Amino acid sequence: MNFELSPEQEMLREMLQRFMTEKCGRDVVRAIVDGQDEWAAELWNAMQQLGLLGIGIDEILGGTGGCLMEVCLVAEALGHGLAPVPFVPTALVSQIIARFGNEHQRERLLPGIIAGGVRTTIAAIDGQFADGTISGTAPIALDGAIADIALLATNTHLVIVPLDGPHVTRTPIGSVDRTRSIARLSLAAAPADALPDAALDWWQDAAAVLSGFEQLGGTERVIAMTRTHVLERRSFGRAIGSYQAVKHRLVDMHIKALIARAHAYHGAWALMTDAPERRLAAAGARVAASEAYRFSAREGLQLHGAMGTSWEHDAHLHLRRAEMLGLVWGGSRIWKERVVVQLEQAHV
Amino acid sequence: MNFELSPEQEMLREMLQRFMTEKCGRDVVRAIVDGQDEWAAELWNAMQQLGLLGIGIDEILGGTGGCLMEVCLVAEALGHGLAPVPFVPTALVSQIIARFGNEHQRERLLPGIIAGGVRTTIAAIDGQFADGTISGTAPIALDGAIADIALLATNTHLVIVPLDGPHVTRTPIGSVDRTRSIARLSLAAAPADALPDAALDWWQDAAAVLSGFEQLGGTERVIAMTRTHVLERRSFGRAIGSYQAVKHRLVDMHIKALIARAHAYHGAWALMTDAPERRLAAAGARVAASEAYRFSAREGLQLHGAMGTSWEHDAHLHLRRAEMLGLVWGGSRIWKERVVVQLEQAHV
Amino acid sequence: MSEAMMDFNDSPEQANYRMQCRSWLAEALTDFDGRRPHFPDFDVPEVMAAARAWQSRKAAAGYAAISSPRGYGGGGGSRIEQEIFDQEERASPAPFTDVFDIGLGMALPTMAAFATPEQKSALLPPLIAGRDIWCQLFSEPSCGSDLAAVRTRAIRDGTDWILDGQKIWTSYAQHADYGLILTRSNPDVPKHKGLTCFFIDMRAPGVEVRPIVQMAGIAEYNEVFFTGVRVPDAQRLGEVDGGWSVALSTLMHERTLGGAGKVRGLTIADIIEGARKLQIGDVPALADGAVRERIADWWIDMEGIRLNYYRALTLLTRGETPGPEFSAGKLMSGRQVQEMAAFMLDLSGPSAIDIGDDSDSAGLAMEWLMAARRRLAGGADEIMKNILAERVLGLPVEPRLDKDIPFRDLF
Amino acid sequence: MSEAMMDFNDSPEQANYRMQCRSWLAEALTDFDGRRPHFPDFDVPEVMAAARAWQSRKAAAGYAAISSPRGYGGGGGSRIEQEIFDQEERASPAPFTDVFDIGLGMALPTMAAFATPEQKSALLPPLIAGRDIWCQLFSEPSCGSDLAAVRTRAIRDGTDWILDGQKIWTSYAQHADYGLILTRSNPDVPKHKGLTCFFIDMRAPGVEVRPIVQMAGIAEYNEVFFTGVRVPDAQRLGEVDGGWSVALSTLMHERTLGGAGKVRGLTIADIIEGARKLQIGDVPALADGAVRERIADWWIDMEGIRLNYYRALTLLTRGETPGPEFSAGKLMSGRQVQEMAAFMLDLSGPSAIDIGDDSDSAGLAMEWLMAARRRLAGGADEIMKNILAERVLGLPVEPRLDKDIPFRDLF
């Protein structure tokens, strides 16, 4: 039994916290929210310099080494900082290619990703892959407006598509989360390169877990900022954090975070070990993390009082991010259904 | 717009409260709970003497007069006092016979009911009515162990069946609510007398509303006893009723009672006026009242602390009564479904 | 059947009045195209112009402030007539007039109770006719729920008072002509005992209004700064140092019946319609048990609040005053709209991330973003629960450490 | 992959130990017929006899108190081995031994920390072997959650103390040989500072036990009256007037990890099985979206608590002490079992009214009735939330009016 971070992983977490405090301050996020920048390119470069874009990729393949758990810890730190960078889609793609891609695909794509010059999106597409080309529309491609490469999943194939050609039209959408550049992708016979079938089965589970860590980081941030607020804010002569209605709500947030963390670790473990319960563990991670972040963002905003409803306050940025992440791989009703289907099979 | 009790009805309510305080004290209820008596016959006699068994029945038919609303107020008062008497089934039957019965049925049954000598049950039966006899089993007949007459509903008929003949077997069951004598009825070609089809459509709605008032009375009682407890009980130097966790829980109970009362009034009004929205209103009354009583009984018990879990405390009698009433005409999932079916039709 | 039976239907007089309202609305609204934004942004000149025109038209026909005396420009009618008109107006595509709500709902009854006859004659008719907009200057940065802790100073200067300080979360202050203000007139007594209320001219020298953009991108609220603002003593409402009871009466108008019949926004019909269109897997979402159960639960609460509002109206009809228990509607509705909107977004799946102006989810997302405001404005959920616990259930207040201490020693 | 990877599987040593436990259990349980009541009632002689026999058998094989030193009759093993055995035992039809839980879970660590070596040698082996039953005498009628307010007096008399007062909610006191007791030794100092702990002989003159029948019909709890009970000072645990820290350490054992891995009762598998059999209209309840969504929600929480328990075990394995955050399991599980049982009863419909011994709903109803106890015993939900808020999140305690006042002036 070993179900905790290792001391090395704890060190990585602390390092990431310091890194984020330094490189992803309020001004970085607000520059995107207020439309001055499209994404946080400088933060991305700093991440690249630290080797974070190659984390979880074997050194033989040019990566920094480490396992998927370390990738998850980066996602958590970025979620904590509301970072406007395409890390999760990019890491998903690099993990998938490292794991399932052939030699040619690895050599063509991994160096660029690890070097920071190639950003990716990954999305479900309503469309067809045949004869080396793909046609159709991906209505929501996370970080799709700034991506160079897309992994697109039809019902039957997971394919790699460069986004720079004439066969691709991308339309940025007015996203609920203003910190990320989301686009609709329309493809008309765009050249595409298929991955093995096993990747198609794997990617949704991996997306659920990686985003789960991003959600978990956001949850912890909301809890921390709400805690600080209720310790400082006074009403009727007392810190509002001494009132049970406030205390117990924060405990509810905390417990949801605790449960989400346990499921997230389990999901990461199941992905790493290809455990038989991988689908269940990944669905658990997604449902628990979506619930924890959405609940905490909503109730954290409430506990901030009227101030929390203003544009200038960060509470709504988390509310919006929580909603976007809760929706992007499918809403909770769908993922809870995945949980139950797995449970039914386990308890025939 | 007139959606409140009339001054006369308010007077009736106060009179009923005094009556219950006097005639249905703790000893009366405990005698049934602890198995000394099967039901509260003395209370029933006192009700008969006050004319409560003929309430809502026209004076021409031998009743006390008044409308269904007054019947509902009696049910509320009995629910408040956890009264171990078969009023709701009996009143349902007398209302149905007065409303739908032919002259012969009225003359045969109403005088006995109003005089207190004839008690009734009403239940759904898994069985068949044909050629003037009924066969089948009613697994749960409320107050069935002490009833003289049953109204039984098959899928196609609502029939009157005397329970004293050789064709009827009744088996008392170990009910979750120990204040009421519930039985399983098995009938083998028992003589039965059918009511018009309209009655079959009406009875469930009427049962939902009348029980709704009984549930509402129980809810108000639980709120009152919990309020008294939290004002008296002290912890860490304060009345526990001054802690927000306690205050806000009582407010939740109070709001559920408020909503249940509004729906109960609406249901009674819809039954009385045969309003087009009768089914919806009755389902609303049932769902809201079941939720209010179950929630208040559960959380009221919790707020009483360990003391509330002891046999000697009345908290569990309400928890049990709330569960029995929440189940007896079908659980909440079924009745919520009735709500939605009606809403779908209203919003095509 | 007894004569004393409940009756949901209009009496013949009420039915008659309803028909009169309905036909007047139909005629009056032929001018309007019926297109309205999801939420009114009164910073948009057309939205404000439509509101003023409509309010003035209602006033001319006696439909603005129906239950206020005719002398002030009201309709001279009953509270039930007001409700009948409101119901009909809500069912119509009439322009939004929220910008007058504070004036009509809070300033009007407060002025009616505390102002002089001359002041009422001068100020209430333009308020009712939509010419003057009023705001309520109570909240301050350092006191959210704890209104008695306001710090904005009022210092006597001859027959005037000089106001210095800051208010916040003042709805529509950027448009307002007048405001009701709660000030600290005496810091040497416990906090509830040193407050005084005034009405003020929002255009007076020293008043500065700064809009606060909300999370949904609209600016309904403002910060308002007071620097040496001179207010004649004649504009005082209530006694010197007696402002707390004036403020309480104003707030009572805000909270009583709040939310019960007046909630705009998502309805059960919207949810049913949405769930008919959306799919879960291969079946319509409306066929899914989880969706159906939620619809039932939401309807129970919404319909319960609506029916409860009828109970309150019945009391009004009988000349009684509904108690604070009817404020449960406000508490319930904010949270419920938030839940419903969030649920529908989730059910829509990834495509609901797109909330651009032309998207399918634009309206839903606006409801969702604005719902947080509903849970806070006019008393946060937590405060509403305290009020219900203390005033309706008679439970003890929290231990108060600040009650008998002079205000100036509290900080 | 990194070496530092998480691992849910047993290490080779652990797997070996698990197989050893499993085969021992299989063999040891051939004697038992495997039929157990829904809940153990230790007033039934056969239930108690089975518990004693099983506990003694475990002790003889080194499986009682696995992680306690062999010197006292423990197994001399690790905390992880204890957990492995517990998992295997829970999966087996072994007789219930709840009557020893207070002794093993609270008295054993408290005695190990505060008793003399002689006392430990004399008292712990029979405790572990199931010969002696221990109880914990903390709660009193006038103090539920506020343990520091106990009034049972302890007055020094030479080398003895004389105890007078009343305890309540004492689990299994009617069967107990010994008890840990918290007393008021000094009423002239603030309430936390005048308490002293002892262990006592429950058969001593002046101790009277009166069982309290619970709502489900079983008597687990008792009132215990003390009239001039003489206790040697040698049975004092901790310092004179230092009982609060002894009590806190005892309670910490009760609460840490409470409920996480040890919850007996309804499982998700039970719910799935039940929902397969029940119908809603014409379809199996398991096909209904509302049922399916609840199953998912409950699984998320239960599985989260279980996984969280593994995090705590990992810390134990590393020699660290899991903090109070792991007590969230107890908070969650009581409420959840209550919800699950109520939901299944509701789904069963009218027939679930029949909870007679032979009925289909008997077991479910017992879970439902006993769930209320889970939400109260060992810290009510509300108290657990306070503890988490204050000790884990560092939020301020409520204003305390009683903290620095001598105990005797509080009433």
Residue C261: the pLDDT is 47
Instruction: Parse chain B into domains and list their residue ranges.
Output: 1-117, 119-195, 199-346
pLDDT tens, residue by residue, D133-165: 999 999 999 877 788 999 999 999 999 999 999
**Joined tokens for residue C366:** 């606006």
Residue C258: the pLDDT is 47
Interface mutation vs chain B, best among A244, A249, A252, A303, most B CBs within 10 Å: A244
Q: Specify the DSSP class assigned to residue C255.
A: H
**Joined tokens for residue D144:** 């539920």
What count of other Cβ atoms lies within 10 Å of the Cβ of residue A300? 27
Strands A149-153 and A133-141, by their bridges, are unpaired
Distances (CA, A) of B118 to B53, B65, B97, B124, C311: 10, 19, 14, 20, 37
- Nearest chain D CA: its distance from C3 CA (Å): 37
- Nearest chain D CA: its distance from A81 CA (Å): 20
Contact B173 D217 (CB under 8 A): no
Q: Which residues of D touch A294 (CB under 8 A)?
A: none
Percent of chain C with pLDDT strictly greater than 70: 94
Residue reference for tokens 């009743």:
B63
Contact A336 D396 (CB under 8 A): no
Q: Which residues of A touch C352 (CB under 8 A)?
A: 176, 327, 331
Contact A1 D314 (CB under 8 A): yes
Q: In the predicted model, what is the mean pLDDT of residues B186-214? A: 96
Q: In the predicted model, what is the mean pLDDT of residues D88-110? A: 91
Model confidence at C265, pLDDT cuts 50, 70, 90, reads confident
The sheet that has B126-130: what strands, in order across it? B126-130, B133-141, B183-191, B168-172
Q: Which residues of D touch B246 (CB under 8 A)?
A: 382
Using CA atoms of C354, C355, C360, C364 in order, give the dihedral in degrees to the nearest 10: 130
> Is pLDDT above 50 for A329?
yes
- Nearest chain C CA: its distance from D127 CA (Å): 46
Beta pairing partners, B234: B239
Domain A1-118 class, CATH top level: mainly alpha
CA–CA distance, A122 with A87 (Å, rounded to integer): 11
Interface mutation vs chain C, best among D280, D282, D288, most C CBs within 10 Å: D288
Model confidence at C411, pLDDT cuts 50, 70, 90, reads low
Contact B245 A248 (CB under 8 A): yes
ipTM: 0.95
Distances (CA, A) of A163 to A153, A190, C356: 15, 9, 23
Compute the mean pLDDT over every residue in chain D, rounded to the nearest whole number. Answer: 89
Residue B306 forms contact with A (CB below 8 Å): no
Contact A339 D300 (CB under 8 A): yes
Q: In the predicted model, what is the mean pLDDT of residues C99-108? A: 92
Q: Which residue of C has its CA nearest to A246?
A: C382
DSSP-derived secondary structure for B171-217: EE--BSSTTS--EEEEEEEEE-EEPPHHHHHHHHHHHHHHHHHHHHH
What count of other Cβ atoms lies within 10 Å of the Cβ of residue A162? 18
CA–CA distance, B300 with B314 (Å, rounded to integer): 11
> Is pLDDT above 70 for D260?
no
Q: Which residue of B has its CA nearest to A249?
A: B245
> Is pLDDT above 70 for A156?
yes
Contact D396 A239 (CB under 8 A): yes
> Is pLDDT above 50 for C260?
no
> Is pLDDT above 60 for C262?
no
Superfamily of domain B119-195: Butyryl-CoA Dehydrogenase, subunit A, domain 2 (2.40.110.10)
Residue A166: name the closest of A133, A190, A148 by CA: A190
Amino acid at A34: D
Residue D39: the pLDDT is 80
Residue A199: the pLDDT is 96
pLDDT tens, residue by residue, B296-328: 999 999 999 999 999 999 999 999 999 999 999
Domain A120-195 class, CATH top level: mainly beta
Q: In the predicted model, what is the mean pLDDT of residues B288-298? A: 98
Residues 6+ apart with CB under 8 A from A262: A288, D303, D304, D305, D307, D308, D310, D311
Beta pairing partners, A194: A159
Residue C319: the pLDDT is 73
> Is pLDDT above 80 for A268?
yes
- Among D290, D292, D399, select the one facing C399 at the smallest CB separation: D399
Contact D293 C292 (CB under 8 A): no
Using CA atoms of C287, C290, C293, C295 in order, give the dihedral in degrees to the nearest 10: -70
DSSP-derived secondary structure for A8-55: HHHHHHHHHHHHHHHHS-HHHHHHHHTTS-SS-HHHHHHHHHHTGGGB
Residue C399: the pLDDT is 77
- Nearest chain D CA: its distance from B172 CA (Å): 10
B282, B327 contact by CB (below 8 A): no
Q: In the predicted model, what is the mean pLDDT of residues A256-275? A: 96
Contact A336 D398 (CB under 8 A): no
Q: In the predicted model, what is the mean pLDDT of residues C238-263? A: 74
Residues 6+ apart with CB under 8 A from D185: D153, D154, D155, D156, D161, D194, D195, D196, D240, D241, D243
Residue D262: the pLDDT is 54
For chain A, which chains pass the contact test of at least 3 CB pairs under 8 Å?
B, C, D
Residue D359 forms contact with A (CB below 8 Å): no
Q: CATH assignment of B1-117?
A: 1.10.540.10
Beta pairing partners, C210: C223
Q: Which helix (H) or strand (E) holds C296?
A: helix C289-317
Write out C334-385 in H/E/C secondary structure.
HHHHHHHHHHHHHHHHHHHHECCCCCCCHHHHHHHHHHHHHCCCCCCHHHHH
Ordered domains of chain D (ranges, CATH) = 9-96 (no CATH), 98-241 (2.40.110.10), 256-378 (1.20.140.10)
Percent of chain B with pLDDT strictly greater than 70: 100
Contact A343 D385 (CB under 8 A): no
Q: Which residue of B has its CA nearest to C395?
A: B241
Class of residue B206 by CB neighbours under 10 A (exposed 0-12, middle 13-18, buried 19+): buried
Model confidence at C379, pLDDT cuts 50, 70, 90, reads confident
Using CA atoms of A131, A135, A140, A141 in order, give the dihedral in degrees to the nearest 10: 50
pLDDT tens, residue by residue, A77-115: 999 999 999 999 999 999 999 999 999 999 999 999 999
Distances (CA, A) of B172 to B13, B116, B169, D380: 33, 22, 10, 37
- Report H helices in D61-199: 79-90, 101-102, 108-114, 117-128
Interface mutation vs chain A, best among C353, C357, C366, C410, most A CBs within 10 Å: C353
Amino acid at A245: A
pLDDT tens, residue by residue, B221-261: 999 999 999 999 998 888 999 999 999 999 999 999 999 99
Contact C300 B259 (CB under 8 A): yes
Dihedral angle sign, alpha carbons of residues D126, D127, D131, D135: positive
Distances (CA, A) of A144 to A169, A175, B296: 11, 12, 51
For chain C, which chains pass the contact test of at least 3 CB pairs under 8 Å?
A, B, D
Q: Which residue of B has its CA nearest to D381?
A: B302
Say yes or no: domain B199-346 is CATH 1.10.1270.20: no
Residue D34: the pLDDT is 65
> Is pLDDT above 80 for D366?
yes
